[in-house]
Structure 1
């Protein structure tokens, strides 16, 4: 584990190719080194060209790129620079909409931190911009980095959405890692626990049911009551009803225990008949499965897929159970080779972060090569509709809509 994590933060640096994509980063956000600067070091087709910031000292992290041509610039200068191909937007949530549109309209590819925007109204406008439907349109990707990681691909391959009856997911940030004054609790900038870690949990529910929720049955959101931050939830628990009658439960907190605990998602399936040629024709074998992906968000640090199967053999006519037993297994997949099956030939290293796998997909899409995982426009729109649904149920309603058009 120690060597893997060390290598994740200190990757080998291949020579950059002549046609490498040049990135500009909008804003000196703390997530930028983890989400793009470090992953770019090991990608031969990515160069960090410039970082925009109102405060040049805050943008000092650009030194971590170790490229002499990385510069700190004003936002407008980055968008106007013909030498910059792609824009990474790690700004506060409430600024995503405006700057993604501005970037797309000048022909830049956009890697957009999640959640993509503040609400579904903005999502409908952004992801259906006319510029995105033109030939050679810019690429626009909502950065759900964890979905690019091999363990997530393996986990989903073990689940048949038609059999899912319940999905539960939880995430957390310790209390000491946030404060009332940071952007998580800034309502005009679209803060809140649902907009933060909670959006990972919502996406997990949608993807494992392979459907959109029909109703938010309940959403208990806790917020500060000091009159300044009282519209921003610091923790929540929401329940959704899906088209097959299944239940999805998501919860998260920005005020968690002192020790950081991995996020997780658990899937429960109905009993299904599975083939078994060894049984007499009068009997059938059934399976009920519970799967848990521990370390759902940052799999490179640690993750484990736990599979708990309950089997029974019963008479087809009588329904009488003649045998019952359980089997438990665990799996890990830091690379697609470890994931096996249809994924075995996809690139990756054991020390690649989910952000590095995501960057691989982003570059491949721009270069016209196949991508394993891509968050499409309708996916991102549906994600924001689910978030709006929860906020309406909890009381305050969706986050505010930008006036920019």
Structure 2
């Protein structure tokens, strides 16, 4: 087991390099020498025959040159705009600070480039409404493709987990995620209000997306949102941690909590789903009895499933008399699952979906992004309306918290 884990993780971060196709390869330009770029694009691209990371631009050319040399990127541009103006660049990856996502995504779309946009897509839903409804996205025969990079939503573990859930019967969901305190300095962009910082923007947005997928709908109300700040008088508009509660259309409650100042030891993210009672047909029972089931489904590690994850399914059954509800018998059935590839996930809905056990979620995401650009079928996707709804949920929480929305860009 340890050997398999080590082999999988090693291959994920040092994947086999494949020969690039001479014709039809998608050439990426990267805006900014961001820390996330290697894991989110550069490393996954090594094993994709149709992806070439061609160029990078940063505010400081020397920094871009250093980044390019370190990661084997052939070309460096003097500015972001110069990269967008390059006719040999097909797609743009935007891992910039949150407050710059909207402007440079709009500029990229208007330059005719496909866009892989780090999450959260924007600072506010107002920005998202403009971005994902740009006329350029629908008015040309082959419009640009834009994807908010919710990488974990493309991983087999998340999809296998969702296959055990019946949204209409969900009554409660708990989600949590964390970053250890020593990984995030107070001077990082996560604590910069002007840059769109905050734990909800940095990490909690994953929790929110999980809630929306689990309920299969949008929240109707943010019941509460309690936040903690550093309290130094400088970074107090940014939540260092939060705990939010949402009500969904079926009456179910979804909870999310995140901290950027967690304990020394890392705890995998968790999504725990509780279903209400469901009558299960059973022809072996007399007409006077019925069998009911309640289910709890937990996914440990919903953000970075490649490192480790486990799906626990606990079904509690009761056979009872219909007349008085008295139980006749009770039992519990528990099973655990893992799914590092769609072949391992099983099920007809996963048949034919590409992937290897060592693919990290970013690699699955890149596969879908390329397939969408090439006009191929994509089993899973995050469309523009989905991204708009995601930002509406973030707005809802920030308004309830009292911190207010993140700054909205004046760029149009």
2:196 corresponds to 1:190: yes
Which residue does 1:130 correspond to in 2? 135
Report the alpha carbon displacement of residue 277 of structure 1 after superposing the two structures with TM.
2.7
> What CA deviation, in whole Å up to 9, does each residue of 1:343-374 have, x standing for no partner?
03211001000000000000000000011111
Could you state the TM-score of these two structures normalised by the residue count of structure 1? 0.98
> What CA deviation, in whole Å up to 9, does each residue of 1:201-233 have, x standing for no partner?
011111111111111111001112222111001
Report the alpha carbon displacement of residue 388 of structure 1 after superposing the two structures with TM.
0.5
2:86 corresponds to 1:92: no
Q: Distance in 2 between matches of 1:74 and 1:243?
A: 46
Q: Distance in 1 between matches of 2:161 and 2:400?
A: 30
RMSD of aligned residue pairs (Cα, Å): 1.1
2:341 corresponds to 1:307: no
Q: What does 1:225-236 align with in structure 2 at a 5 Å threshold?
A: 225-236=231-242
Which residue does 2:107 correspond to in 1? 102
Paired residues of 2:77 and 2:83 also in contact (CA < 8 A): no
> Structure 1 residues 150, 293: CA separation in 2 closer, same or farther (over 3 Å shift)?
same
Q: What does 1:31-42 align with in structure 2 at a 5 Å threshold?
A: 31-42=36-47
Q: Which moved more, 1:342-351 or 1:188-197?
A: 342-351
Q: Moved runs in structure 1, 4+ residues, more than 6 A?
A: none
> Structure 1 residues 63, 353: CA separation in 2 closer, same or farther (over 3 Å shift)?
farther
> What CA deviation, in whole Å up to 9, does each residue of 1:243-298 have, x standing for no partner?
11110100000000011111110100001011223222322211100011001000
For the residue of structure 2 that corresponds to 1:227, the secondary structure is coil
Q: Distance in 2 between matches of 1:318 and 1:304?
A: 39
Paired residues of 1:187 and 1:231 also in contact (CA < 8 A): yes
For the residue of structure 1 that corresponds to 2:202, the secondary structure is coil
Report the alpha carbon displacement of residue 90 of structure 1 after superposing the two structures with TM.
0.2
2:171 corresponds to 1:180: no
Q: Which moved more, 1:54-63 or 1:294-303?
A: 54-63
For the residue of structure 2 that corresponds to 1:49, the secondary structure is strand
Could you state the TM-score of these two structures normalised by the residue count of structure 2? 0.96
Among 331, 335, 350, the alignment partner of 2:337 is: 331
Q: Which runs of 5+ in 1 are unaligned?
A: none
Q: Which moved more, 1:171-180 or 1:57-66?
A: 57-66
Q: Distance in 1 between matches of 2:9 and 2:135?
A: 42
Report the alpha carbon displacement of residue 74 of structure 1 after superposing the two structures with TM.
2.0
Q: Distance in 1 between matches of 2:90 and 2:35?
A: 22
Q: Distance in 1 between matches of 2:77 and 2:336?
A: 46
Which residue does 2:9 correspond to in 1? 5
Which residue does 1:253 correspond to in 2? 259
Which residue does 2:356 correspond to in 1? 349
Which residue does 1:140 correspond to in 2? 146
For the residue of structure 2 that corresponds to 1:365, the secondary structure is helix
Which residue does 1:390 correspond to in 2? 397
Which residue does 1:221 correspond to in 2? 227
Paired residues of 1:48 and 1:65 also in contact (CA < 8 A): no
Matched residue pairs, number? 404
Report the alpha carbon displacement of residue 169 of structure 1 after superposing the two structures with TM.
0.3
Q: Distance in 2 between matches of 1:366 and 1:396?
A: 39
Which residue does 2:117 correspond to in 1? 112
Paired residues of 1:173 and 1:254 also in contact (CA < 8 A): yes
Paired residues of 1:49 and 1:70 also in contact (CA < 8 A): yes
Paired residues of 1:41 and 1:65 also in contact (CA < 8 A): no
Report the alpha carbon displacement of residue 13 of structure 1 after superposing the two structures with TM.
1.1
Q: Distance in 2 between matches of 1:55 and 1:285?
A: 66
2:14 corresponds to 1:14: no
